[in-house]
Amino acid sequence: MLMKADQAALMVIDVQEKLAPAIADSTNLTARIQWLISACQVLNTPTIFTEQYPKGLGHTLPELLSQVSQPEVVEKTHFSVVAAHCLPEQWQRYSQIIVCGMEAHVCVLQTVLELIQAGKEVFVVADAVGSRTEQNYQLGLERMRSAGAHIVSREMVVFELLQQAGTEQFKAISKQFLRGEQP
């Protein structure tokens, strides 16, 4: 199934001040997540940020929050956002959840598994998730795929949400996100 703009929302999991530096290729990963958030804002895709125990891991990176005019942030101590019961009520209406963030084999994995169990169609953005090690990253993606998650790229997200060329959104996305060197 394709992602549909009127059914999809973006969940940015635990890209936090004290966790991000420990993640493999953190600088480039953060740039790719920022690209995805910015593109989703142009496409009017609702976005939520989660924070795992912010008292210990700090808050979401400010450069990510700044991409959203009124960022919605939820705190949790459970690894899964679903198990934490912290998602606002309006998030129940989205049947498709696009997921990026940290770490692929812990909070992203557990959230994805429980979103699928709750009947959501989940799209994990492979080039916008990370772990401390390549092995954990690969194992996380493999497990999510085998559980029914769709493993996608940032460009797949953008083009599926756009659905067609020639629109004002396509022109804005093309100019801002698809030309020149990308993160």
Query: Catalytic positions, please?
Result: 14, 76, 107
DSSP H helical ranges for the chain: 26-42, 54-57, 62-65, 81-84, 107-117, 134-146, 154-162, 168-177
Residue 33 near residue 103 (C-beta atoms within 8 A): no
Residue 102 near residue 18 (C-beta atoms within 8 A): no
Q: How far is CA 62 from the centre of its chain?
A: 16
**Residue 10 backbone phi and psi in degrees, to 5:** -105, 130
The residues facing 12 across adjacent strands are 49, 100
- Residue 163: how many other CB atoms lie within 10 Å: 13
Residue 130 near residue 33 (C-beta atoms within 8 A): no
Residue 154 near residue 35 (C-beta atoms within 8 A): yes
